[in-house]
């Protein structure tokens, strides 16, 4: 365990680098992000961060491995596959809306769409696929949309995350907006996302340890035992903002899409291992 003074110094270095957009681009940010966690937790292999807190908490990891023998998210994956293969009323299907028929593409989302000038998440792409084909959009927190996302994540397991920031000032602006969100204080508790998952990663909150930011998007959608269901990454964003007593944005808002863009880019090179199971 690093001494508090060293931990503060490393955090200061990371915060300094990430706050200098004129000097540091997204790739420099990503390298600094990884270097921070590598120095903070030198015994944790880089590829373990896709397992969230189970990379940092050996006892919790044992329990998680037992759960993974009969994954509670299997039903969502199966439901998602059935939905994915169902044709729309016009005869088309989800496979017609995605590269490679929608199989093994999760690692490329979210992506910046130059034609639309915005970040498009997988869930947004799924709903737009539906509306373009004359179907009604699913609610963002619907079981159907989460199941579709879970199935597509399953088909991408083991594929390295490869989110691109094209040479487009609008894409860079979206990335920077997501980064600002992550490091900005909010709510009555005056917390930023980074306060829990960078500064306090590995520390206790009540009876549980806090996970590290690195690798967070890799295992979503996630089955949460406390909720008894699979949830999306944006649902988790919503809950975190609410828990610091701030007013949450709607799921798939521009704010959350940009946040996902930044956070997923930070995990580039790590593999997709969703859907996952967490407390």
Query: Is residue 146 classed as helix, strand or coil in its secondary structure?
Result: helix
Tokens 């039903």 belong to 75
Cβ(194)–Cβ(183) under 8 Å? yes
Give the Å distances, CA to CA, from 18 to 32, 77, 129, 218, 267: 8, 37, 35, 22, 15
Q: Which two tokens stand for residue 257?
A: 């899409």
Distance CA 46, CA 42 (A): 9
Tell me the sheet residues that pair with 113: 118
Tell me whether residue 240 is one of the annotated catalytic residues: yes
Distance CA 148, CA 11 (A): 38
Assigned token pair, 32: 């600094």
Query: Reduced to 3 DSSP states, what percent helix, strand and coil does the chain have, rounded to the nearest 5?
Result: 55, 10, 40
Question: 67 near 61, Cβ under 8 Å?
Answer: no
Contact between 247 and 164 (Cβ < 8 Å): no
In 24-123, which ranges are E strands? 111-113, 118-120
82 Cβ contact list (under 8 Å, min separation 6): none
Query: What's the sign of the alpha-carbon dihedral 45, 48, 49, 52?
Result: negative
Q: Is the CB of residue 175 less than 8 Å from the CB of residue 258?
A: yes
Catalytic residue set: 240
């Amino acid at each position: 365990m690093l001494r508090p003074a060293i931990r503060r110094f490393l955090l200061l270095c990371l915060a300094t680098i990430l706050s200098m957009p004129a000097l540091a681009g997204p790739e420099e940010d990503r390298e600094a992000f990884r270097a921070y966690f590598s120095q903070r937790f030198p015994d944790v292999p880089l590829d373990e961060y896709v397992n969230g807190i189970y990379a940092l908490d050996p006892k919790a990891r044992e329990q998680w491995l037992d759960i993974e023998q009969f994954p509670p998210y299997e039903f969502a994956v199966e439901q998602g596959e059935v939905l994915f293969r169902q044709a729309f009323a016009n005869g088309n299907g989800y496979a017609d809306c995605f590269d490679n028929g929608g199989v093994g593409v999760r690692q490329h989302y979210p992506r910046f769409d130059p034609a639309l000038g915005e970040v498009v998440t997988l869930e947004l792409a799924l709903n737009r696929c539906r509306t373009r084909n004359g179907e009604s959009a699913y609610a963002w927190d619907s079981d159907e949309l989460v199941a579709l996302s879970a199935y597509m994540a399953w088909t991408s397991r083991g594929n390295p995350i490869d989110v691109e920031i094209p040479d487009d000032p609008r894409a860079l602006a979206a990335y920077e907006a997501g980064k600002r969100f992550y490091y900005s204080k909010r709510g009555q508790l005056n917390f930023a996302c980074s306060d829990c998952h960078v500064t306090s990663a590995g520390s206790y909150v009540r009876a549980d340890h806090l996970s590290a930011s690195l690798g967070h998007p890799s295992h979503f959608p996630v089955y949460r035992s406390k909720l008894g269901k699979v949830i999306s990454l944006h649902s988790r964003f919503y809950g975190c903002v609410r828990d610091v007593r701030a007013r949450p944005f709607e799921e798939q808002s521009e704010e959350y899409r940009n946040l996902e863009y930044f956070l997923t880019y930070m995990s580039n090179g790590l593999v997709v291992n969703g859907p996952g199971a967490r407390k």
